[in-house]
């Protein structure tokens, strides 16, 4: 089965890197939608909490995490090696503003190095962290290609900016996504990822919008 079919049939395994305000709700929504999800985080506390069925994020209830962990649909680890088994990898690490009020992309690059060490052909990697235009292509892609794999030939890469508004009664990970995800019906994982494939015929790299029209 190819990647698109795996996503459409909920057969794809999803890896979410960074289980914070963005990553944990996303992991939960993807698991509730039917995907097998593993979260990767450098924080042992975050990993232990998820595996114990607890949520450390206000927008996610303990019972939701516990039910998914019990059902074997969601687990967490500090070990990037699990990414080898993932078909879709979503990066949700922090990008705090630096002293020049620019996003610090060092966490993205660290995640990229972790992915590169365990990549295999056929995977889709989606950058979800907020960052400046060009990051996917100019900064993350070269790190991923240290794996020896080539975008468009061996793996897919896209940028899917997060739109979540933590604490909002109206908007959440399921309904707050841009048109791409909402159109496809599945927030966070499959839905958002299907559209770029269709548009490009699987060309592999889905460039961010131009510098002058991307909002941070
Ligand atoms: N929180 C929001 O309201 C919001 C809204 C839109 C966009 N965003 C963006 O989404 C991204 C994630 O934000 P957040 O609020 O979820 O951050 P967060 O600080 O809540 O969570 C980030 C998680 O990533 C983990 N992490 C850090 N480095 C890692 C690494 N190398 N490998 C694996 N895990 C790592 C941290 O331990 C933490 O658990 C940021 O770019 C942020 O700007 C956030």
Q: For residue 96, give the CATH number of its domain.
A: 3.40.50.720
Ligand 1 atom with least separation from CA of 40: 33
Residue in the structure block whose two tokens are 């048109």: 179
Give the binding-site residues of ligand 1, using a 6 Å CB cut-off: 17-23, 40-43, 46, 92-95, 107, 110-111, 129-130, 162, 164, 166
* Structure confidence at residue 75 (pLDDT): 98
Q: Is the pLDDT of residue 188 over 80?
A: no
Sheet holding 36-40, edge to edge: 74-77, 36-40, 13-17, 88-91, 124-127, 156-159, 205-206
Query: At 177, is the pLDDT very low, low, confident or very high (cuts 50, 70, 90)?
Result: low
Q: Which atom belonging to ligand 1 lies closest to the Cα atom of 110? A: 31
Work out which ligand 1 atom sits closest to the CA atom of 18. 24
Contact between 140 and 146 under an 8 Å Cβ cutoff? The reply is: no
**Beta strands 13-17 and 156-159, pairing class:** unpaired
CA 201 to centroid of ligand 1, rounded, Å: 31
Domain that holds residue 46: 3-213
Spell out the alpha helix ranges (H) of 85-178.
106-116, 141-144
Q: Whose CA is nearest to atom 15 of ligand 1?
A: 21
Strand partners, 40: 17, 77
Which of 20, 106, 187 has the most ligand 1 atoms within 8 A of CB, as the residue to mutate?
A: 20
CA-based nearest residue to 162, from 76, 103, 99: 103
For the cut 60, the answer to whether the pLDDT of residue 63 exceeds it is: yes
Share of the chain above pLDDT 90, in %: 72
- Among 66-70, 72-76, 78-82, 182-186, the minimum mean pLDDT is found in 182-186
Number of domains in the chain: 1
Please compute the mean of the pLDDT values over residues 27-51 and round it to a whole number.
Answer: 97
């Amino acid at each position: 089965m190819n990647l698109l079919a795996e996503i459409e049939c909920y057969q794809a395994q999803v890896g979410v890197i960074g289980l914070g305000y963005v990553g944990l709700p996303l992991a939960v929504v993807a698991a509730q939608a039917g995907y097998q999800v593993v979260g990767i985080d450098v924080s042992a506390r975050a990993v232990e909490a998820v595996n114990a069925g607890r949520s450390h994020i206000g927008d996610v209830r303990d019972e939701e995490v516990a039910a998914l962990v019990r059902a074997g649909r969601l687990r967490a680890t500090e070990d990037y090696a699990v990414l080898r088994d993932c078909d879709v990898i979503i990066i949700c690490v922090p990008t705090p503003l630096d002293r020049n009020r620019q996003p610090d992309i060092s966490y993205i690059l660290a995640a990229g190095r972790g992915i590169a060490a365990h990549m295999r052909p056929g995977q889709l990697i989606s950058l979800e962290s907020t960052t400046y235009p060009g990051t996917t292509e100019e900064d993350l892609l070269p790190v991923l290609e240290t794996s020896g794999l080539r975008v468009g030939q061996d793996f897919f890469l896209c940028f899917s900016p997060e739109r979540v508004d933590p604490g909002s009664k109206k908007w959440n990970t399921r309904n707050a996504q841009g048109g791409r995800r909402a159109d496809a019906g599945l927030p966070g994982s499959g839905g958002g990822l299907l559209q770029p494939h269709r548009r490009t015929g699987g060309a592999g790299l889905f460039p961010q919008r131009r510098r002058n029209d991307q909002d941070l």
